[in-house]
Amino acid sequence: MDLTGKVIILTGVSKGIGRATAEALLARGAVVAGWGRTAPDDLQHERFQFFECDVRSEVAVKEAYTNTARELGEEIHALINNAGLGIAGPVDGFSSDDWHLMFDTNVHGMFYCTKAVLPQMRKQQIGHIVNLSSIAGTTGIEKMAGYCATKFAVRGFSQSLFKEVRNDGIKVTCLYPGSVQTNFFDDIPGTDANEHMMQPEDIAATIVYALETPFNFHIVDIEMRPLQPKK
């Protein structure tokens, strides 16, 4: 799909992968509706518009979608479900509130946003939904059971969804990045972000690549890993 002039909703736009993806999409000519709790610093562009939205609230998602359609037009060509967070800890000492926070953001938020855009995409008979899972969505990680559980859920949702909507011309792609040098690791004990990890721009470029594939096929799953991880 040629991204020029296409309206793309991007959640979790304020920093990290979301911010890098917004810049990559703008560079390809897209119109970006950035959804998030806080606006990205210093991102000023005629084709970027920020809409305050906490994806944990279905009411907030519906409002952001209504505002996006009003401001940018009814046609929504892609949704990138990027908003997410990870909290580490052993299962028997883990906060139930933190468990719910991760599911509310990583899983329920993805569902609310997807549910919001699908009727219009079905009407258009074209669209693309990109979901950000993780390597943690393919294998268990010690003291990351809650995060892994959410990312396994993203994987199952994505693989089911693509079979459900493919005949309506809607593509679904799920990404499984390994370690990326972002603030994600600020709250993960024992791991520090470093230059040997992938960069947010690497993930952004891959998302753009998936979006620009010809109409007759789509990439279902993409696993990404650093080439030379820190020993």
Give catalytic residues, as residue numbers: 147
Which residue's entry shows tokens 């139930």?
96
Task: Decide if 211 contacts 3 (C-beta within 8 A).
Answer: yes
Runs of H (alpha helix) within the chain:
16-27, 58-72, 96-102, 109-124, 145-165, 200-211
Q: Please, is 228 exposed, middle or buried when counting C-beta atoms within 10 Å of its C-beta (0-12, 13-18, 19+)?
A: exposed
Task: Decide if 49 contacts 72 (C-beta within 8 A).
Answer: yes
At 131, give phi and psi (nearest 5°): -110, 135
In this structure, what token pair is assigned to residue 132?
A: 């950000």
Please report, as a single letter, which amino acid is at residue 97.
D
Q: How far is CA 197 from CA 12, 101, 184, 200, 231, in A?
A: 20, 26, 12, 10, 11
Q: What share of the chain is helix, strand, coil (3-state, %, to 5)?
A: 45, 15, 40
Task: Decide if 83 contacts 137 (C-beta within 8 A).
Answer: no
